[in-house]
């Protein structure tokens, strides 16, 4: 715990240093002379954020530029949600917001005020894995595993949306999740089985 706090402090320090450095090299159009003091003050103005993650309510402050992904990983220390490309192309960061799957790397944390977030850590019911998690294990729906949390979150939503009626439909509606190991056939197997057994919950 102590260690965590120390790390948090250091991370914050590093972030601020980086931000200041960025400000220093920002183009004149962005930072006009004489405005610097005001800009620096605004730079660190954190916004209060009330958010529910995996059934737990949090009231914290975040910098406006913090993405939902970075908030989940670096402030809540939930490292299950992965940062792959960080540009919305790979799907490794997929989480549910009010039950809908999104790329958490392209959403600002502050845009999720009052929302309910579910991450991969919130899927299991205590020690009992979610049926989709079990199916991924049974069908070997991964190799390196890096994309797996995003795949599973996306897969659960895919079924909840009613978009898993055939293998082709699954492939189309899972296209936002890239697996560089190429475990796609097994991922589709896992989703089809979970769909057949008809038990998903968020």
Partner 1 sequence: MINFEYIRASSVKAAVEALAKNPTGGFIAGGTNLIDLMKRGVTAPTRLIDINNLPLKQVEETSAGLHIGALAINSEVSANDLVKNNYPLLSMAFAAGASAQLRNMATVGGNMMQKTRCSYFYDTAMPCNKRQPGSGCGALQGHNRMHAIFGASDKCIAVHPSDMCVALAALNATVTVSGPKGERKILFTDFHRLPGDKPELDNTLQKGEIITGVIIPKNTFNKNHYLKIRDRASYAFALISVAAALEVSGDTIKKASLAMGGVAHKPWRLTEAEKFLVGKTATKENFSKAADLAIKGAKGYGHNNFKLKMAPIAIVEALMIATGIA
Which residue lies nearer to partner 1 by CB, 65 or 138?
Answer: 65
Binding-site member from 52, 108, 121, 134 for partner 1 (CB under 8 A) = 108
Rule CB under 8 A: say whether 12 interacts with partner 1: no
- Nearest CA among 84, 125, 135 for reference residue 106: 84
Binding to partner 1 in span 135-164, by CB under 8 A: 154, 157-158, 161, 163
Which residue lies nearer to partner 1 by CB, 2 or 37?
Answer: 37
Interface characters, 20-39, with partner 1 (x: CB under 8 A):
--xx--x--xx--------x
Between strands 116-118 and 47-53, the pairing is: parallel
Taking the alpha carbons at both ends of the chain, their separation in whole angstroms is: 30
Contact 68, 108 (CB under 8 A): yes
b/e string for 159-198 if b means 16 or more Cβ within 10 A? bbeebbeeeeebeebbebbbbeeebbebbbbbbbbbbeee
Contacting residues toward partner 1, per CB under 8 A: 19, 22-23, 26, 29-30, 39, 42-45, 47, 63-65, 67, 86-88, 91, 94, 100-103, 106-108, 110-111, 113, 154, 157-158, 161, 163, 171-177
């Amino acid at each position: 715990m102590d260690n965590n706090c120390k790390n948090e402090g250091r991370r914050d320090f590093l972030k601020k240093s980086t931000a200041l450095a960025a400000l220093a090299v920002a183009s004149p159009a962005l930072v006009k002379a004489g405005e610097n003091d005001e800009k620096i003050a605004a730079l660190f103005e954190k916004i209060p954020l009330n958010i529910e993650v995996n059934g737990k309510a949090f009231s914290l402050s975040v910098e406006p530029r913090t993405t939902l992904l970075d908030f989940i990983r670096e402030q809540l220390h939930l490292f299950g949600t992965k940062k792959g490309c960080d540009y919305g192309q790979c799907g490794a960061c997929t989480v549910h917001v009010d039950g809908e799957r999104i790329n958490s790397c392209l959403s600002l944390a502050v845009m999720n005020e009052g929302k309910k977030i579910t991450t991969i850590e919130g899927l299991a019911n205590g020690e009992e894995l979610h049926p989709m998690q079990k199916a991924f294990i049974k069908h070997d729906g991964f190799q390196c595993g890096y994309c797996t949390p995003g795949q599973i979150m996306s897969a659960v939503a895919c079924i909840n949306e009613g978009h898993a009626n055939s293998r082709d439909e699954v492939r189309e509606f899972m296209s936002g999740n890239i697996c560089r190991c190429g475990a796609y056939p097994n991922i589709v197997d896992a989703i089809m089985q979970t769909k057949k057994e008809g038990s998903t919950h968020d």
